[in-house]
Structure 1
Amino acid sequence: MGIHLIESFLQGKRPAPELCEDMLVINEDFVAVIDGATNVSGRKINGKSPGKLAAEIVKQTVERMDKKVTLEGMIEQINQSMQNFYQKQELLEEIKRKKWLAPSACMAIYSHYHREVWQIGDCQAMIEGELYKNEKHLDTITANARSLYLEAELKKGKTVDDLLVRDTGWEFIQPLILQQYYMQNDPQNQYGYEVINGFPIDLNMVQVTPVPADMTEIILASDGYPFLRNNLSDSEVTLGKLLREDPLCFRAYKASKGLVKGNESFDDRAYIRIRV
């Protein structure tokens, strides 16, 4: 028996679907959720956000990989694809100076040949009901800083509706988000974290989870689902409850960004459930 798709879903946080920076890969060898990093600088490359470009490059590379590729081989192929793009666009030197400009993405991928789930960054996995997260310490710092700032804004007279229009807490932590790019793929740094950006990744930073040999259910999801459940419907219901009760995502669930007025959610989201 191969990979049996049970359900999948992809939804951007903005009404325009072409702006979604999450992507899915589904074929007979690999199933993956890819999460392009949020654009902090506002700069675009070829009319697209860096996160969108990163997700596209990762998706296209994974879709043409040999089924027997190892984790190390997969990373090498993706990095080479990204390096080729940087050179073609003459971006490499600028990226070395301005780390935050580098297109980057996270991914959770299931290799059917190896029967393993590989998590690079903070995409989630659930295997037979057991949740595997791969959160980074920096996110806790920036989320708490934003939460504190928003609490103060409310004390000073702003309303939640005001902050849904202009999230001054997000503006406050943007310099921190820009700085964190310099800690990417640096296992020696106390704030180091792994991400796909075209540069080497320490394999020890990648979370590898074996999948049992018998029939197993696997869920992969981006962090657009802060509370992952055993099926898509329950995950959506839980997300909807959060967006109603804490739309700014600074109390019940502290995040670096919240819902913006007119958007669908606080983040893009991707979900896939399979049986193998």
Structure 2
Amino acid sequence: MKLIEKNLIGKRKDQALCEDGIFFNGNFAAVIDGCSSHKGALHEGKSSGVIAKDLILDVLATLPSETTMQKALSACNEALSLWYEERHLLETMKQDPGLRCSAYMAVVSKARREVWILGDCQALIDSQIYTLHKPIDTLMENLRAMYIEAELQKGRSEDEIARFMESIQTRLSEQMAFQSRFQNSAVKTSFSYFVLDGFFENYDAVQVVKLGDGPREVVLGSDGYPRLKASLKASEESLASLLREDPLCFRENRSTKGLAEGNVSFDDRSYLRVIV
């Protein structure tokens, strides 16, 4: 497997806060998207998303080349569970999913010639995007768009709304607090979603794409690239266009957050392009 190009940029100026990660060692290539806690959870001075990302990166570096999808994700999940146990947090995390260290990922396995995609991380293969956008996210994105459009109805400009976005995000966070109730839930509903958080069990939630014989080009990306393209340059140009046209991220690129003042984008972003 050959690495063609890569990119990793946090949305904030302090890159230590970036919850995305990239991995490549010739056997595996991966992008990891650590999840921001809606409860603002910090552990040992790091966000829960950063901790999840770092733990998963460490696990990927230890995997034998022939590791199956289930064994790879199980190892990542167990690393998170062990981290809780060592800090006497396992029962707390079991009771409150909103506090957990969690992440999504997309992985290329050279030996197995497979791509594994969990959640809204993305894989671009032969012009086809593989990802899973959660219904609960769509609901929250539409709710935030409604809040913004309600302000536009009052006659406020987008610039005015941007200056008072914190109030909209606060209202949204009150609703998003319910989201974690559906995280790796035992009772499956239309809003259930599955993520690596130390309690992941539903391997059917992972998309597995077989690459077949012969060289194949694969692009992996986090959802910080709303329009993942076949090259890094095209992906960056597309993102820049979206941020110019819709910095509040409530039109074409609906999100639960927009481009905040002082940030370089609406979300952390990671990109890997490889030939397998």
Partner SS for 1:23: strand
Equivalent positions of 1:142-221 (< 5 A) are: 142-167=140-165, 168-186=167-185, 188-221=188-221
**Structure 1, 213-222 or 153-162: larger mean CA deviation:** 153-162
Q: Could you tell me whether the CA contact under 8 Å between 1:224 and 1:268 is conserved in 2?
A: yes
Equivalent positions of 1:254-265 (< 5 A) are: 254-265=254-265
CA RMSD of aligned residues (A): 1.4
Show CA shifts across 1:168-201 (max 9, x none): 3322221332221121223722211111101132
Distance 1:163 1:43, change over 3 A: farther
User: What's the offset of the Cα at 1:256?
Assistant: 1.0
Q: For the residues of structure 2 that align with 1:213 and 1:178, how far apart are their CA atoms?
A: 45
**Structure 1, 91-100 or 29-38: larger mean CA deviation:** 91-100
Distance 1:260 1:213, change over 3 A: same
The amino acid across from 1:198 in the alignment is G
User: What's the offset of the Cα at 1:166?
Assistant: 4.1
Q: Which residue of 1 aligns with 2:105?
A: 107
Q: State yes or no: 1:32 paired with 2:30.
A: yes
Structure 2 counterpart of 1:118, from 107, 116, 119: 116
Q: Which residue of 2 aligns with 1:55?
A: 53
Partner SS for 1:194: coil
Q: For the residues of structure 2 that align with 1:240 and 1:59, how far apart are their CA atoms?
A: 28
Q: Could you tell me whether the CA contact under 8 Å between 1:195 and 1:201 is conserved in 2?
A: no
Q: For the residues of structure 2 that align with 1:98 and 1:84, how far apart are their CA atoms?
A: 17
Partner SS for 2:22: strand
Q: Could you tell me whether the CA contact under 8 Å between 2:28 and 2:107 is conserved in 1?
A: yes
Partner SS for 2:267: coil
The amino acid across from 1:98 in the alignment is D
Percent sequence identity over matched residues? Answer: 39
**Structure 1, 93-102 or 148-157: larger mean CA deviation:** 148-157
Partner SS for 2:43: coil
Matched residue count = 274
**Structure 1, 175-184 or 239-248: larger mean CA deviation:** 175-184
User: What's the offset of the Cα at 1:135?
Assistant: 1.1
Q: Could you tell me whether the CA contact under 8 Å between 1:83 and 1:198 is conserved in 2?
A: yes
Question: What TM-score, normalized by structure 1, do the two folds share?
Answer: 0.95
Distance 1:13 1:165, change over 3 A: farther
**Structure 1, 245-254 or 148-157: larger mean CA deviation:** 148-157
Q: Could you tell me whether the CA contact under 8 Å between 1:147 and 1:169 is conserved in 2?
A: no
Q: For the residues of structure 2 that align with 1:10 and 1:95, how far apart are their CA atoms?
A: 29
Q: For the residues of structure 2 that align with 1:14 and 1:120, how far apart are their CA atoms?
A: 25
Show CA shifts across 1:195-230 (max 9, x none): 110113211111111113111100000000001111
Partner SS for 2:178: helix
User: What's the offset of the Cα at 1:157?
Assistant: 4.6
The amino acid across from 1:180 in the alignment is Q
Partner SS for 1:142: helix
Question: What TM-score, normalized by structure 2, do the two folds share?
Answer: 0.95
Q: For the residues of structure 2 that align with 1:207 and 1:169, how far apart are their CA atoms?
A: 34
User: What's the offset of the Cα at 1:96?
Assistant: 2.0
Partner SS for 1:93: helix
Q: Could you tell me whether the CA contact under 8 Å between 1:165 and 1:260 is conserved in 2?
A: no
Q: Which residue of 2 aligns with 1:70?
A: 68
Q: State yes or no: 1:251 paired with 2:251.
A: yes
Distance 1:227 1:155, change over 3 A: same
Q: Could you tell me whether the CA contact under 8 Å between 1:217 and 1:273 is conserved in 2?
A: yes
Q: For the residues of structure 2 that align with 1:32 and 1:166, how far apart are their CA atoms?
A: 37
